Structure 1
Amino acid sequence: MPLFKHLQICEHCNLYVWKIDEKADSLKNQVYLSDKELEKLNSFGSESRKKEYLAIRLLVQRYISANLRIENNKHGKPFLVDSDLNISISHTKNFAAIFVCKESIPALDMEFLSDRVQRIANRFLSESELENISDQNRTFHLYQHWCAKECLIKFYGKKDVHLINELKIHPFSPHQNTFKGEVCRNDFSESYTFRYILFDEYLLVYSLK
């Protein structure tokens, strides 16, 4: 499958989405993997996880640079080795995406829209955030909040953050072009503006700092 979507968000920021309809072996034949990456690939038990891992690297090597490699820091945050480019990655059912910027810090999260989010909403939203959720567009609005909070986690860069108490999404209607959120910690306090892309049954939310 060729590239599904490419958006140039600004001069030095590009977002790429790949629709994964290849088998893992086909994707593997299109990318170069270091010994370390090959070991990581072989550690995955499921075909879908292998395809996501390969699709992310295919996007980087084909559309950014064939020589770039992705690694993760001690907190699990991905980075491009020996590069001044910043990257955020996401994958969900049959899609993978990268957001690469030179002079800004990017964050994105992409999710397949399903009713599952309604069963777990109180695990990641405060009472006031839940009160703001649209009755008419409930699933979509919940996922906007979920994706935005995933982006906030990526901006913070560590996983020891409380989804309800330390990640806040300001009230907004589901069809606003932009909405805002913030990380509220003693060691890190920043606000961000989010935008979203809706396609098929998928939602992609992204932001820059």
Structure 2
Amino acid sequence: MPICQQIQINDSCQLIVWKTTEPLEELMQLVHLTPDETIRMNSFGSLSRKIEFAATRCLVQSYFGQNVGIKNDEHGKPHLINSNLNISISHSKLYVGILIGEQYAVALDIEYLSDRVNKIATRFLSETELNSIEKENKILHIYQHWCAKECLIKLYGKKDVHLIDELKISPFSPNDSSFSGQVCRTDFSETYQFHYILFENYLLVYSCKKSQ
């Protein structure tokens, strides 16, 4: 699992992306799974999902050691065991990434760029957001919105959120170095800044915000 990206975002937050080239059998020799994790991994029907699960834990253990694990809360949000760092996890095809930070709210999303996003854009973009999409960089621009909204869900920490009405992305150009978005709910209202990285045919979007 060679590291393809390792970036120190600020004094606390670090982004690490690995390329998963190993078969599951080899990953299992590199990672230590608890009995519950083994049961959970084996419950997945697809081989790719099993590889993602094992690769994520392999990446965390290679960085922190075997005594640090991952647990998911009732909303599916990951938390580290035996560490006070916050973590966000994403994977897409061959790549798995983690974003970690102490006293920062962090969120990360990785997506493989494909024109299929054109067919589903109306499911997660408002009319205003759709009208702001630039035609020359349409696929990238739509994916930037998609990844940012995935990050907003992770930052909010719950999945019962309306993608169009409660997650808003402010107008921006796909060439801008950063852009912003908001979670707009009666019980939670917060604005976040997003940055992105393009590599091969993948888009990575992340956000780090100092906790109050």
Asked whether the two chains share a fold, i.e. TM above 0.5, the reply is: yes
In the alignment, what sits opposite 2:30? 30
Q: Secondary structure at the match of 2:140?
A: helix
Superposition map of 1:60-71 within 5 A? 60-71=60-71
Structure 1 residue runs without a partner (length 5+): none
Deviation string 1:23-66 (CA, Å, 9 cap, x unpaired) is: 01111110100011111111111111111111111111001233
Query: 2:146 & 2:104 partners in 1: Cα distance?
Result: 23
* 1:160 has 2:180 as partner: no
In the alignment, what sits opposite 2:48? 48
In the alignment, what sits opposite 1:83? 83
In the alignment, what sits opposite 2:113? 113
**Paired residue type of 1:116:** R
Query: 1:82 & 1:62 partners in 2: Cα distance?
Result: 15
**Paired residue type of 1:189:** S
* 1:74 has 2:74 as partner: yes
Normalising by structure 1, we get a TM-score of: 0.98
In the alignment, what sits opposite 2:58? 58
In the alignment, what sits opposite 2:173? 173
Instruction: Give the conservation status (yes or no) of the 8 Å contact 2:2–2:20.
Output: no
In the alignment, what sits opposite 1:131? 131
Instruction: Give the conservation status (yes or no) of the 8 Å contact 2:67–2:82.
Output: no
Deviation string 1:142-165 (CA, Å, 9 cap, x unpaired) is: 000000000000010001000000
In the alignment, what sits opposite 1:12? 12
Shift of the alpha carbon at 1:175? 0.4
Query: 1:208 & 1:46 partners in 2: Cα distance?
Result: 32
* Runs (4+) off by over 2 Å: none
Instruction: Give the conservation status (yes or no) of the 8 Å contact 2:90–2:110.
Output: yes
Q: CA RMSD in A?
A: 0.8
Instruction: Give the conservation status (yes or no) of the 8 Å contact 2:145–2:169.
Output: yes
Shift of the alpha carbon at 1:97? 0.5
Query: 2:151 & 2:65 partners in 1: Cα distance?
Result: 25
In the alignment, what sits opposite 1:198? 198
Aligned residues: 209
Shift of the alpha carbon at 1:4? 1.7
Identity of aligned residues (%): 57
Q: Secondary structure at the match of 2:67?
A: coil
**Paired residue type of 2:80:** L
Structure 2 residue runs without a partner (length 5+): none
* 1:95 has 2:95 as partner: yes
Shift of the alpha carbon at 1:105? 1.3
Q: Secondary structure at the match of 2:182?
A: strand
